[in-house]
Amino acid sequence: MRIVAGKYRGRSLVSAKNQSIRPTTNKIKEYIFNILRDQVEGAQVLDLFSGAGSLGLEALSRGAAEATFVDNTPNSLRILKKNIDNLNISEPTTTLCRDAIRFLKTNKKTFDIVFADPSYKWKSFDQLMPLVFNPPTLAEHGLFVLESEMGHTIDWETEEYAVYRQKKFDRCYITFLSRRGSE
CA distance 38 to 64: 10
Mean pLDDT of 139-163: 90
| 78 falls within a domain | yes
CB 83 within 8 A of CB 109: no
| 113 falls within a domain | yes
We report the CATH number of the domain holding residue 170 as 3.40.50.150
Q: Is the per-residue pLDDT at 76 higher than 70?
A: yes
| 4 falls within a domain | no
| 60 falls within a domain | yes
- Per residue in 117-128, pLDDT (tens digit) is 998 888 899 999
Domain that holds residue 108: 26-179
The alpha carbon torsion through 11, 114, 168, 126 (nearest 10 deg) reads 140
H or E element at residue 108? none
| 20 falls within a domain | no
Our count of domains for the chain comes to: 1
CA distance 153 to 101: 18
| 141 falls within a domain | yes
| 65 falls within a domain | yes
Q: Is the per-residue pLDDT at 61 higher than 70?
A: yes
| 10 falls within a domain | no
